[in-house]
Structure formats: structure tokens, C-alpha cells
Amino acid sequence: MCGTAAISMGIFSSFKKLEKKARTSLSHHPIVYAVIGSFGVVLFWRGIWHTTDFISTIVLAWQGGSPTVDLNQVWDGLLSGAIGFSLLLSTGLFVSDFIGSEIISTALKEEEKMTGKTESEVKTELQRITQIEKKMAEVSEHIDQHLERIEKKLKE
């Protein structure tokens, strides 16, 4: 059992790395990303559709007393579904496509938390920003003075 878990974690880790690489490279090419995602969605749903049709054909054939069924139908559906699933999973679109509304609602809840900050928290944050700006101005002034001294020495 422990060995199986380790193998599963290794496969999962490898697949996550592949997904990250694919998303990173595809994010620079949004049109290609959209086309691959579209193919993945269509193939995935086509696979589900054809597999369901195959199952209903088997059930109807069994009830009608004619058990001969074309097995190419099942391979058509399963292959389409597997290719679509692989495309969606490897590009990171499977979860966002099928659980996207949950992700959006979670993001909205997080945004509500941000807008729910109290006035004192906002004031404290503004004070910290002001302090940082002052320190940055001091550092910048110090650097300018130092550069002036260096320039004077170089001119001499």
C-alpha cells in the first residue's frame, strides 16, 4: 500500500510539473491556448456523448434480443474522452472549465474580505506606506549625494 501511494505521488508530482510548464508556455500564446482548450473541451464531451450512446445501444440491443454491437463505437468514445481529458488536464483547463464557477465565487468572497477592512486598518496601512515612501526618498537623496561626490572626484 505504501509503495502504491509513493508511485501515485510521483506520477501526480510529475504531472503537476508538466501542467505548470504547459500553462507557462501557453500563457504567452493565448490564441493557441484557447484553441487547445477548445479542442480539449469538445473531445472530452464528445467522448462522454459517444460512450453514453454506446451504453444505450448495448442496453437496447440486449433488450431487443440482438446482442451484436459494433465495438468501434466504444473505442471512438473512450479515445475521444481520453484525449480531451489529457489535453484539459495537461493545460490546467480541466479544473477551471468544470469548477470555474466555484473558483470565481471563492475569489469574490476573498474580495469581500478585502473591502471589509476597518477604517483603522486602512489608516495603519496608509501610515506604513507613507513611512516607506519617506525612507525611499531618504535613500534616493543619499544615493544622489554619494553620486555627486563620486562625480566630483572623477572630474578632479
Question: Which of the 8 DSSP states describes residue 152?
Answer: H
pLDDT at 155: 82
User: Do residues 32 and 107 both lie within one domain?
Assistant: yes
* Residue 95 neighbours by CB distance under 10 Å: 13
User: Do residues 107 and 127 both lie within one domain?
Assistant: no
| Alpha carbons 37 and 94: distance in angstroms, whole number | 9
Mean pLDDT of the region 57-85? 81
| Alpha carbons 3 and 100: distance in angstroms, whole number | 34
pLDDT tens digit sequence for 100-138: 555 556 665 665 555 555 677 778 888 888 898 888 888
pLDDT at 45: 92
User: Do residues 140 and 77 both lie within one domain?
Assistant: no
Q: Which is nearest to 48 in space by CA: 82, 91, 95, 86?
A: 82
From 70-74, 84-88, 125-129, the region with the lowest mean pLDDT: 70-74
pLDDT at 14 over 70: yes
- Per-residue cell: 70: 459494433
Q: Which is nearest to 44 in space by CA: 105, 97, 107?
A: 97
- Contact assessment for residue 80 and residue 42, using Cβ atoms and an 8 Å cutoff: no
User: Do residues 7 and 51 both lie within one domain?
Assistant: yes
Q: What is the CA radius of gyration of the chain?
A: 29
User: Do residues 108 and 122 both lie within one domain?
Assistant: no
pLDDT at 84: 92
Domain count, the chain: 2
pLDDT at 18: 76
pLDDT-based confidence at 49, cuts 50/70/90? very high
Residue with cell 480541466: 94
User: Do residues 106 and 151 both lie within one domain?
Assistant: no
Handedness of CA 90, 96, 102, 103 (dihedral sign): positive
Mean pLDDT of the region 88-102? 70
Contacts for 19 with CB less than 8 Å, ≥ 6 apart:
89, 90, 91, 92
- Domain of 49 in residue numbering reads as 2-116
Higher pLDDT, 72 or 99: 72
pLDDT-based confidence at 47, cuts 50/70/90? very high
pLDDT at 130: 87
Residue with cell 477548445: 38
pLDDT-based confidence at 143, cuts 50/70/90? confident
